[in-house]
Chain A
């Protein structure tokens, strides 16, 4: 049982606060660290991996400090986001080197290569590998010493769907074996498919934590904003506001459009075309104005 404790951790670079007073506990199983790009996920993972000192707060693995403690790497496997990995070596040479650095031998390396199903290409130079193959060899290098904590920074970036599925299967297996697996991602669907537990980080702050269904509900239940243009904006506005699925409508004269805030997403999307047809109004534009991930996340922060 390995538990990673992040206790009131902040990190700033000059005047910029990258991670702001985050406290979380990562236990066995697969945990997804979700957040938009630039939210501070990599900074947080760097601190979890002992590559960056927290400005304040502590990161401990089963009570042991992670920062400035080389011996902690006996228990941690790291899959970095960056691609670079001694491209002049073959996959096997690379994993063997990683095993040796842990004081292990070729046998451990072979076992790790088998786990990620890379034996078939192990004697090819890494420079000839595809993105997915590189990712798997990185995984093998992280698994070679059988670590109890696995940290992966954006492991699915740039992978094709098949590679993604294979890696997800592998991570699920690792989690089921009782390892503590933490991976970061900015894509909700990825996290949802893989992690039972989600930690959401937005703008350096810990926005939400818990079961993915709860977070998914928070995300779909949030007020949605739409920009609508029609043949008769005022008549449409009057008809829509009568329904409880709509909480506010603004007539934007400059844009010549309605800005609608809907509280019940499902009901509103069914209501709008029906109301328009019933009143003989032509819909010219219907566009969601806050579907960006950032706005979804910032809603979560407020929630």
Chain B
């Protein structure tokens, strides 16, 4: 199911200079903000939860997910170089699964790790806030990577759609409209995060069992569908 060569090619494409800069900029910004907030407000659990919830989980994680998820396959399909993977005796779902693992790894590394660092800076993991949001970021990374990998497989405008989803649906509707929250990766991840903390600093509108089922269903379905799409993908020619 996992091909190390496909993984190596995907890592190198994802962590190429320009994309690595974008991937690195957001976490850096989060840490700078965490340092500034700590300096201005001091160690405050509620503030820490607000920053990690509003900035890290609602904004940074989905954006990193978009860049890593769509970037793991979109550019190859766009420029046609995916043909070098497709013209091999290699199961298409293997290609997708490998790229998913890489996208998950990159999303986790660039979102969960900085979330944890920012949490430590903000309140030294008081009330387990840092750990809770880190766990939520790890969980969200898996679902986002799968969703955006699928988007990268089906659409040429994956990045735009992905950003619209991340910013409008997750960040805006997910915070304002109650119904939308049930269908939000962010809320599912928060449900898992909630389990980790002791208090009420990390809460979710979705119950843990529902969230777990939805996370698994979305991840599995998106990955399966991406594999099917790849089986019938025609690399574009110049003609």
Which A residues lie at the B interface, using CB under 8 A?
A: 37-38, 41-43, 46, 49, 51-53, 68, 70-74, 76-78, 80-82, 84-86, 88-89, 97-98, 100-103, 141, 153
- List 15 contacting pairs A-B, 8 Å CB cutoff, sorted by A: A41-B239, A46-B234, A49-B87, A71-B89, A73-B87, A78-B83, A78-B87, A80-B235, A82-B238, A86-B9, A88-B12, A97-B5, A97-B8, A100-B5, A101-B3
Instruction: Give the docked Cα–Cα distance between A154 and B16 (Å).
Output: 30
Q: Select from chain A the residue with minimum beta-carbon distance to B233.
A: A51
In the complex, what residue of chain A is closest to B8 when comparing beta carbons? Answer: A97
State whether the Cβ of B90 lies closer than 8 Å to any Cβ in chain A. yes
Bound-complex Cα distance A68 to B92 (A): 10
Not counting A82-B79, A97-B84, A98-B88, a sample of 9 additional A-B residue pairs whose C-beta atoms are within 8 angstroms of each other reads A38-B239, A46-B235, A51-B87, A70-B92, A73-B88, A82-B236, A82-B238, A88-B12, A101-B88
Q: Which of A77, A98, A153 contacts B237 (CB 8 A)?
A: A153
A118 vs B78: C-alpha distance when bound (angstroms): 27
Q: How far is the CA of A128 from the CA of B182 in the complex (A)?
A: 50
For the side of the interface on B, what is the size category?
20 to 34
Known: A85-B81, A86-B9. A102 touches B235 (CB 8 A): no
Question: In the complex, A42→B3 CA distance in Å?
Answer: 30
Q: Check B91 for interface membership: any CB of A closer than 8 A.
A: yes
Question: Among the listed A42, A70, A84, A86, which residue makes an inter-chain contact with B239, where contact means beta carbons less than 8 Å apart?
Answer: A42
Q: Check: B6 CB closer than 8 A to any chain A CB.
A: yes
Residue on A nearest B3 in the bound complex, by CB = A101
**Cβ-closest chain A residue relative to B91:** A70
Of the candidates A70, A77, A153, the one whose C-beta lies within 8 Å of that of B89 is: A70
> Is A80 touching B80 in the complex (CB atoms < 8 A)?
yes
Using Cβ atoms and an 8 Å threshold, which residues of chain A touch B83? 51, 78, 80, 82
